[in-house]
Amino acid sequence: MKKAIIIGAGLAGSEAALQLAKRGIEIDLYEMRPQKQTGAHKTDKFAEFVCSNSLGSYNTTNASGLLKHEMEKLGSELIPIIFETQVPAGGALAIDRELFSEKVTEKINNNKNINVIREELTQIPQDIPVIIASGPLTSEALSNNIKIFLGEEYLHFFDAIAPIVEKESINFEKAFYLNRYNKGDADYINCPMNKEEYEKFYNILINAPKIELKSFEKNAKFFESCLPIEVLASRGTDTLRYGPLKPVGLVDERTGLENYAVVQLRQDNKSASLYNLVGFQTNLKWGSQKELIHSIPGLENANIIRYGVMHRNTFINSPKVLNPTLQSRKNSDIFFAGQITGTEGYTESIASGLLAGINMYKYLNGEKLLALPQETVLGALTHYISFEGHTSFQPINSNWGILAEMEMDKKTRKNKKLKNELLAKRSLETIKEIASNLI
């Protein structure tokens, strides 16, 4: 039986392991938790969601949604588990994160082709094909070894985690259920603020002490779509009101008032007992977080289940070292997958693990590797991170801007919805043909 090693049982590593195992490849899956924790993970389960429980849209007129449909057609093993553990979140696809991790862990542990090894690998294994899916929180020892292997300096950015509160402790005399513009079921809890309440909240936020960064973290590079709320607030008094606290489309029917700002909370588990504060990723000290959260109308007595934290994410300089197949240019035995490649987001991590798994199988069998075309979201992502022409490479998630252009008249191009529908149709037709030829 052919064999490979996978380092890391996160989203990418779990998907890659299951892809190879179902094709008859024997896998040694290394996961250092719980013997060694990352500082962000809380459990020893596989495929643990850390920052949020949402994977974004499932609609094909959204690039992230289209990517999920591509993954389904390519035979993703984690997408069905996502739907099994789905919780209401309006137009977004959100999960009960604990239940999801439990199901993925159980599926891997029960697979006869996957040998789980709970220990830290400090060096890249030699003389055996390996997928490095150790994630953005790769241990220092392995990071140093990868850096030596690649001969390229690492890049860093910082990711921040939002607090979670207990639903029973929310004051619904002030808070109310509503999706923006009343679309879909009322899956979000909203805490409205008037001008005076917002100014009090903002004052606490900008003056709150932050957790001091370590010396090697001083030159922090934040990923723009996951900025700590205090960083957003530092850009101006009204920045939050046009960002995560924007009030448009969220009018409480009980009052009919247009609010000055609104804090939204999204369901975090299947039983709907826990809710996370949308856009509240933060690195404030915990005492300050408590004061800030309790200043929000409706959360005056909120029971805070988890405070926000910030951690360093590490990714390789992929344009210098990777092919669009996710195979290393330096050593054909080595593939990379997940956020360590510079693909940002849960969906994107799973997708890269899917492609790495497929291509490792092809490599082991002497077949031509699959480089997906840029007409697809996953193909566009992998081509983007492996494009040598970058002058300053930064992490990226799925978006329409990286897909290959499509011929269409000016009127169609200006119609965003129609344009996206056409791009999605082209992508799914392309993926369907590719998937029909996969084993």
Of the residues 308, 327, 350, which one is the last residue of a structural domain?
Answer: 308
* pLDDT at res. 314: 85
Q: Does residue 338 or residue 222 have the better pLDDT?
A: 338
Mean pLDDT calculated for residue range 212-236: 74
Q: Does residue 39 or residue 341 have the better pLDDT?
A: 341
Beta pairing, strands 86-87 & 92-95: antiparallel
* pLDDT at res. 221: 64
Torsion of CA 364, 369, 370, 371, to 10 degrees: 140
* pLDDT at res. 213: 62
Of the residues 274, 308, 342, which one is the last residue of a structural domain?
Answer: 308
**ω into 136 cis (within 30 of 0):** no
303 and 317 co-located in one domain: no
397 and 283 co-located in one domain: no
234 and 375 co-located in one domain: no
What is d(CA 12, CA 339) in angstroms, rounded to the nearest whole number? 8
Tokens standing for residue 181? 């513009």
Torsion of CA 177, 181, 185, 190, to 10 degrees: -20
56 and 181 co-located in one domain: no
| Residue 93 belongs to domain spanning | 3-157+313-436
Asked if pLDDT for residue 173 goes beyond 60, the answer is yes
* pLDDT at res. 54: 86
Of the residues 286, 308, 330, which one is the last residue of a structural domain?
Answer: 308
224 and 286 co-located in one domain: yes
User: How many domains would you assign to the chain?
Assistant: 2
pTM above 0.75, yes or no: yes
CATH of the domain at 265: 2.40.30
Mean pLDDT calculated for residue range 77-100: 92
138 and 185 co-located in one domain: no
Average pLDDT over the chain, rounded to whole? 91
* pLDDT at res. 67: 98
**What values do phi and psi take at 273, rounded to 5?**
-95, -15
49 and 122 co-located in one domain: yes
* pLDDT at res. 123: 94
Asked if pLDDT for residue 219 goes beyond 80, the answer is no
Q: Which residues pair with 131 in a beta bridge?
A: 6, 335
Asked if pLDDT for residue 6 goes beyond 60, the answer is yes
The burial class, CB within 10 Å (0-12 / 13-18 / 19+), for 157 is buried
Asked if pLDDT for residue 328 goes beyond 60, the answer is yes
Q: Does residue 240 or residue 314 have the better pLDDT?
A: 240
Tokens standing for residue 428? 């799914």
* pLDDT at res. 86: 94
95 and 231 co-located in one domain: no
Confidence of residue 214 (pLDDT cuts 50, 70, 90): low
92 and 111 co-located in one domain: yes
pLDDT tens, 129-143? 999 999 888 888 998
Asked if pLDDT for residue 40 goes beyond 70, the answer is no
What is d(CA 428, CA 375) in angstroms, rounded to the nearest whole number? 9
Asked if pLDDT for residue 235 goes beyond 80, the answer is yes
pLDDT tens, 381-437? 999 999 988 777 878 889 898 999 888 888 888 888 899 999 999 999 999 999 998
289 and 388 co-located in one domain: no
174 and 281 co-located in one domain: yes
* pLDDT at res. 215: 52
* pLDDT at res. 220: 58
